[in-house]
Structure 1
Amino acid sequence: MFSSIWKIFMFIALSWLCTTVKSQRFDGVPGCRTTKLELVFVVDGSSSVSRDDFRLAKQWIHNMTLNFDVSPDTTRVAVVQYSTEPRTEFELDSYEDSRGVVRGINHMQHMSGNTQTGKALRYVIDQVFVRARPGSSKVAIVISDGRSQDEAKQAAAALQTEGIATFAVGVGDMTSSGGVSELRQIANMADDSDSVFMVEDFQSIGKIQEKLIEAVCEQTVKECPTAKNDLAFVIDASSTIGYEDFAKVKAWMKNIVNAFDIGPDQTRVAVIQYSTYVQEEFNFGQLLSKEEVLAAIDRMDYVMGDTHTGDALMYLLVSCLLFLRLSQFA
């Protein structure tokens, strides 16, 4: 059985990479798309939010969720709308993929009513995050365009006590001094940190998407870079890839490596590429510094050929796993 010191093995299919590039999704922090995350959007549906603005908020939530790998084993998404009362639009376990989540978002109807943010935050703790999986990261993104008509500070503190990372998004009037103070309370931050975001109106909300995704990712995978990992890349280098996209894969690998602390007692890296044959670029423990690993990735030549994925995975099992640190098994 594996111990709590875990290993990461990444099999990268270029068809997946090209899909994400074409859809212009933000990659965020390496490892974020596959982390075990409970992501809950808490969206203001009060009367101060017009129907057009509510439609823009729905579209923004839709765009945000596309940047995560939604599945029962990775990111699960729930949405709560609130006004005078909170209402669950769909639960964390309602949908198993992004298409289901998008359907749930599209079915949302604007509530209207007062702005009871504190009640919504308590509701999220008592009714939504109780379904969280053991060991998962928990994130709430609260979107509001007006100050709460009830007390929100204690409820926000309770979120922090429950280990729920909270991000506050203020729109319109919430960018005033009083609104900013409330956003800080919701995010449990004393200043304008990476947990507080503000935009002038709902038409501008897309401007914060990239920074917010990055902040969420950094929160959920913040312990990853300093852990003791063995990270293996298995790269498709067949003739269907092409030189330009192979270069993109190499750049992507370097971005991931840069997110880890590389060393004999930290993260070690192995890389193999495959086409008709399997070619080992380097194995665990052969390159001891981050600079050496990055330089070796730069030197990789595109081999071309057929796509023998099974042979590559067998090579990984036979040749690379033998070099795993024995201390990682229990």
Structure 2
Amino acid sequence: QQCCSTRNGPEHLWIQRGTNLQTQRVVRDIVFLVDGSSYIGSSNLPYVQEFMKNVVNQLDVRPDRVQIGLMQFAEHPRIEFYLNTHRTRQEVLDSIAQLRLTGGSVLNTGAAMNYALANMFQSSAGSRRRQGIQQVLVLITGGPAQDEVKRIADKVALGGVLTFTVSSGQADEGLMRTVAFVPNLAYHERSQFFSEFSQN
């Protein structure tokens, strides 16, 4: 099962497992929004980290090419680092490796997406949206959203942000397809674990 899609178009990340890419041609601002609840938990965190690292390792991370930001959420959202915090791939990888989940069983996914739009995809946080650079949100979750998500997803899309969803376990697959910018940008593994997504 593919974790990401390769297409010839500005709306795609151009990342695919096991594919050598001309990463110098990719210019994106990418924010990972990670479920920090017990639905992921410490046992699945390494798989989530490996998935993010695999994506980052295929991209030319530097201020004039690809910028990476990271948030986690459960009941409340938390910014780990902004788009303009790190200037190299290695700095991003090191921060991903240090991620520790907040825990809890409440998942306010819509509120977290709204927070990302208001606080991550802004010029002050490093966003190049005003320069016409594609803005990408990668939502990674393993549990059911407990607040309004679809309306917020529409707001995020209208804000010029392309949303991918990567879900597993108890996440609502149907909802994730409506949250993604288009349904084929939603990737769901029915098992409890993210191990499939993390593989090269």
TM range (shorter): 0.7 to 0.9
Residue in 2 aligned with 1:172? 169
- Deviation by residue 1:12-34 (Cα, 9 ceiling, x = unmatched): xxxxxxxxxxxx96334x5x543
2:19 paired with 1:26: yes
- Deviation by residue 1:205-231 (Cα, 9 ceiling, x = unmatched): 235x7xxxxxxxxxxxxxxxxxxxxxx
3-state SS of 1:108 partner? coil
Displaced runs of 4 or more, over 6 A: none
C-alpha RMSD of the superposition: 1.7
Residue in 1 aligned with 2:135? 138
2:149 paired with 1:152: yes
Measured in 2, the distance between the counterparts of 1:80 and 1:34 equals 26
Measured in 2, the distance between the counterparts of 1:33 and 1:26 equals 14
Q: Show the 5 A alignment for 1:78-227.
A: 78-113=69-104, 114-131=106-123, 132-133=127-128, 134-174=131-171, 179-189=172-182, 193-199=183-189, 200=191, 201-206=193-198
3-state SS of 2:48 partner? helix
Contact conserved, 2:73 with 2:109, CA < 8 A, in 1?
A: yes
**Cα gap change, 1:198 to 1:173, in 2 (>3 Å):** same
2:48 paired with 1:51: no
Contact conserved, 1:33 with 1:67, CA < 8 A, in 2?
A: no
Q: Which consecutive residues of structure 1, in runs of 5 or more, have no partner in the other structure? A: 1-23, 210-330
The one-letter code sitting in structure 1 at the alignment partner of 2:179 is I
Post-superposition shift, 1:136? 0.8
3-state SS of 1:147 partner? coil
Contact conserved, 2:165 with 2:185, CA < 8 A, in 1?
A: yes
Measured in 2, the distance between the counterparts of 1:166 and 1:188 equals 5
Residue in 1 aligned with 2:14? none
Length, aligned pairs only: 176
The one-letter code sitting in structure 2 at the alignment partner of 1:166 is T
More relative contact order, 1 or 2 (CA 8 Å, 6+ apart):
2
Measured in 2, the distance between the counterparts of 1:59 and 1:170 equals 15
2:70 paired with 1:73: no
Measured in 1, the distance between the counterparts of 2:64 and 2:122 equals 17
Contact conserved, 1:33 with 1:75, CA < 8 A, in 2?
A: no
Measured in 2, the distance between the counterparts of 1:38 and 1:70 equals 10
Contact conserved, 2:48 with 2:198, CA < 8 A, in 1?
A: no
3-state SS of 2:25 partner? coil
Q: TM-score, normalised by structure 2?
A: 0.82
Contact conserved, 1:25 with 1:66, CA < 8 A, in 2?
A: no
Measured in 2, the distance between the counterparts of 1:104 and 1:34 equals 25
- Pick the aligned partner of 2:28 from 37, 49, 54: 37
3-state SS of 1:60 partner? helix
The structure number with the bigger radius of gyration is 1
The one-letter code sitting in structure 2 at the alignment partner of 1:140 is L
Q: Show the 5 A alignment for 1:239-254.
A: none
